[in-house]
């Protein structure tokens, strides 16, 4: 784990790092010492580890909960090099969708492929970050919607350190079998008029979680219209389960 820079503002310390060629960012309370809960944030498709919504949420977890927060770029996103393998599939999928194929199964298969890479990457990130004195081996939460849900469901299923997860804007095609292995508390976000994820597939993914403590929040609007008060709810949810 190689730190590139460290800056602080308004009580939040931000450290950029590279770990096994994966660019990442760690946010902690300024002057933090000792073990604390850690949230891994999974960004959306076409976004990156410091996209505005990720950055805003990270700062809230740090300032309101005194948690540590980490995010890394997904392959082919942010500061990572272009991966021709993924690009080729994306181009093929686009052509198939334009030819009339249903997008959902294509997206699901693509996310499942990328998850084969990101699940071990993210586990390595946890290993490294939890060795830092100002993070430590506290309880871990995962937050990710859209692509962050497609990659997050297999990650949460695989990683016993994760004690609670906010997921959403994803459907059962992507990750139904992995969802059935998840038993930790889940808050699941649905956009009621999602143009990318059919409603029945969203509800089927919620049904698939094996968690006894799971809660579904649905709001009107399209894929990109998630209301800001759901971020308040994410903060409350992780405060309840990790603090």
Helix (H, G, I), strand (E, B) or coil at 154: helix
Residue 232 binding its own copies, by CB under 8 A: yes
Nearest CA among 142, 228, 148 for reference residue 186: 142
Instruction: Give the residue with the Cβ less far from its own copies, 72 or 166.
Output: 166
Residue 229 binding its own copies, by CB under 8 A: yes
The answer to whether residues 110 and 175 touch, using CB atoms and an 8 Å cutoff, is no
Strands 38-42 and 162-168: unpaired
Minimum CB–partner distance for residue 162 and its own copies (Å): 19
Residue from the set 80, 134, 196, 217 that interacts with its own copies by CB under 8 A: 217
Residue that the structure tokens 């990328």 belong to: 114
Residue 227 binding its own copies, by CB under 8 A: yes
Minimum CB–partner distance for residue 167 and its own copies (Å): 14
Residue 176 binding its own copies, by CB under 8 A: no
Residue 116 binding its own copies, by CB under 8 A: no
Residue 220 binding its own copies, by CB under 8 A: yes
Measured distance CA(90)–CA(106) in Å, rounded:
9
Instruction: Give the residue with the Cβ less far from its own copies, 27 or 237.
Output: 237
The residues that bridge with 23 in the sheet, in sequence order, are 18
The answer to whether residues 163 and 186 touch, using CB atoms and an 8 Å cutoff, is no
The residues that bridge with 5 in the sheet, in sequence order, are 16
Residue from the set 90, 132, 218, 231 that interacts with its own copies by CB under 8 A: 218
Q: Bin 67: left if φ > 0, else alpha if -120 < ψ < 50, else beta.
A: beta
Total of residues contacting its own copies (CB under 8 A) = 17
Instruction: Give the residue with the Cβ less far from its own copies, 43 or 214.
Output: 214
Nearest CA among 232, 78, 107 for reference residue 170: 107
Instruction: Give the residue with the Cβ less far from its own copies, 23 or 185.
Output: 185
**Binding residues for its own copies (CB under 8 A):** 192, 206, 212-220, 227, 229, 232-233, 236, 240
């Amino acid at each position: 784990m190689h730190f590139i820079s460290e800056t602080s503002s308004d009580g939040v310390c931000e450290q950029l790092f590279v770990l096994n060629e994966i660019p990442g960012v760690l946010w902690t309370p300024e002057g933090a010492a000792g073990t604390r809960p850690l949230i891994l944030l999974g960004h959306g498709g076409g976004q990156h580890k410091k996209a505005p919504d990720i950055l805003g949420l990270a700062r809230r977890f740090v300032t309101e909960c005194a948690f540590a927060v980490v995010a890394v770029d997904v392959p082919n996103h942010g500061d990572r090099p272009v991966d021709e393998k993924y690009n080729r599939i994306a181009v093929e999928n686009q052509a198939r969708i334009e030819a009339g194929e249903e997008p959902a199964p294509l997206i699901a298969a693509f996310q499942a492929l990328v998850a084969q890479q990101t699940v071990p990457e993210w586990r390595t990130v946890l290993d490294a970050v939890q060795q830092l004195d100002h993070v430590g081996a506290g309880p871990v939460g995962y937050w990710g919607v859209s692509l962050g849900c497609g990659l997050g469901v297999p990650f949460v299923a695989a990683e016993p350190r994760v004690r609670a997860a906010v997921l959403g804007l994803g459907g059962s095609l992507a990750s139904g079998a992995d969802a059935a292995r998840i038993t930790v508390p889940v808050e699941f976000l649905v956009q009621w008029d999602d143009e990318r994820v059919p409603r029945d597939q969203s509800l089927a993914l919620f049904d698939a979680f094996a968690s006894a403590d799971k809660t579904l929040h649905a709001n009107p609007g399209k894929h990109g219209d998630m209301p800001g008060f759901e971020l308040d709810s994410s903060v409350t949810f992780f405060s309840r389960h990790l603090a």
